[in-house]
A and B are shown apart, each in its own frame.
Chain A
């Protein structure tokens, strides 16, 4: 069973002409008991096909909200979102999502969890299981194919969640702090796994994190967001060579990038602090 996870030739053709994701003037306002909260304020960015973009920012700055909106999960928004050239209204199977919590179906084994997507898209159980078994091997969980999620560690559960999202061969993969709940060691391993995986699947990836190190290690480009309301402060291109691993974190080029990012974040923190002082 050959998993044609890379984009088909036709899409490569159109890819040259259009970004995989176009977000223009995205604003999201929530109505709450204490009035309206502007969660996201006129955010615009493009993601090229096959690009790996990280959105980094403090807690509550609207990272999840932006990602959910691209996924078609958050309904009311202003502005325009195009995925592969088409406006987004509802979830679509060529856009995969990995959430901060694994959200595995507890009543399904690892294999059935991963096979769920293909089955929903009309594949036979045999086909779906074949796809699942390939992905199980890819994320290194062969021994646990028949295990139930509650018997797996957090890192293993998140690997299953990634495999499950990949089973529908998404053109776009959205990841919302998928390693946020893991310990530092496991997180480094997962980052390396993801980098290796990414070289094989060639999907466009938008990865949300509050960890600036994680963002630089993984991304081609980092979007730094600020809180209250959420805006994009700066785009930082990460020109570190690939294939990459988390050991890149000790190289001078990495450190100077990180300094750039931290400067932006510190300036913004100072500005926010002075502003709240003035209130």
Chain B
């Protein structure tokens, strides 16, 4: 559900951009100006229309209002969630898990990716293992994480770190391997000592790949957060969704989903903006 929301939102925004670009190219024809205005209008109406329809269907009596509450009920549940103060403690708990896990997993991934990418011996030692572990969905580790860590924070961090690590490791590894040989030869001809090649050429050459890996890892850290909090927690957005489900507070469940979608959407956009600054020469 969370995935679907994110995908839908991304698709909607990118579709909007496509249309804007396409009409921009033909802006001289009055016809296309009208078309563009229409597009903006439709775009602005999209969400209100959708929410209005939802409200109507929910209240029409054709569906069970407890299972499919109207947006007004969802909004009320979210307001109550915020007013009770639980929202912010849930938000903090979830954000803490995601960011800490992301930073640890990302750092480990970059470190080991550079090592395996640069040194064939280390790659021979670790890559087979990593390639076997990497395709296992992190969610599948929930049972063993519960056995190992119980319901502690360490277990939740473990899951997020696990998910983030392999993505970042692989993209760093590939990035380091794909560094243009020509640049390395040029650097050698200019007197760059081999032991300085890593910091002068390889890391920067791999940076665009690393950034792509990190960006993918942002969404993965949210997927694994869901698994981690469903496995048992005492606070957190997904934890709240689960509790609400047990109490049949469907409005709260939907409010939680919307919050999760919004947060990971914001995180992705923030990282995209950051990524453009990290690869400064593009």
Measured CB to CB, the residues of A under 8 A from B are 71, 73, 90-93, 95-97, 99, 101, 103-108, 116-117, 120-121, 148, 150, 161, 164-165, 167-168
Q: Quick check: A120 and B185 within 8 Å, CB to CB?
A: no
Chain B residues within 8 Å of A168, by CB: 190-191
The closest CB in chain B to the CB of A97 belongs to B189
A-B Cβ contacts below 8 A, count: 63
A-B pairs with beta carbons under 8 Å apart, 21 shown: A71-B189, A90-B188, A91-B188, A97-B185, A97-B186, A99-B185, A103-B180, A103-B183, A103-B185, A105-B183, A105-B187, A105-B201, A105-B204, A107-B207, A107-B281, A116-B190, A116-B200, A148-B281, A150-B281, A150-B282, A164-B190
The closest CB in chain B to the CB of A116 belongs to B190
CB of B100 within 8 Å of the partner chain = no
Measured CB to CB, the residues of B under 8 A from A are 180, 182-183, 185-193, 196, 200-201, 204, 207, 280-282
Q: Quick check: B280 and A73 within 8 Å, CB to CB?
A: no
Known: A99-B186, A101-B182, A107-B204. A120 touches B281 (CB 8 A): no
How far is the CB of B250 from the nearest CB of chain A, in Å? 52
Chain B residues within 8 Å of A95, by CB: 189
Those 3 A-B pairs whose CB atoms lie nearest each other, nearest first: A93-B191, A117-B190, A103-B186
The closest CB in chain A to the CB of B189 belongs to A97
Known: A148-B281, A165-B189. A120 touches B182 (CB 8 A): no
Residue in B185, B189, B190, B280 whose beta carbon sits within 8 Å of that of A107 in the complex: B280
The closest CB in chain B to the CB of A68 belongs to B185
The closest CB in chain B to the CB of A117 belongs to B190
How far is the CB of A15 from the nearest CB of chain B, in Å? 22
The closest CB in chain B to the CB of A104 belongs to B186
How far is the CB of B40 from the nearest CB of chain A, in Å? 34
A71 to B191, CA, bound (A): 12
**Known A106-B281, A120-B193; further 10 A-B contacts with Cβ < 8 A:** A91-B188, A93-B191, A96-B189, A97-B185, A103-B185, A107-B204, A120-B191, A148-B281, A150-B281, A168-B191
Chain B residues within 8 Å of A90, by CB: 188
Chain A residues within 8 Å of B182, by CB: 99, 101, 103
How far is the CB of A94 from the nearest CB of chain B, in Å? 9
Chain A residues within 8 Å of B183, by CB: 103, 105
How far is the CB of A233 from the nearest CB of chain B, in Å? 28
How far is the CB of B163 from the nearest CB of chain A, in Å? 30
How far is the CB of B102 from the nearest CB of chain A, in Å? 25
The closest CB in chain B to the CB of A150 belongs to B281
A107 to B281, CA, bound (A): 5
A121 to B189, CA, bound (A): 11
A108 to B192, CA, bound (A): 15
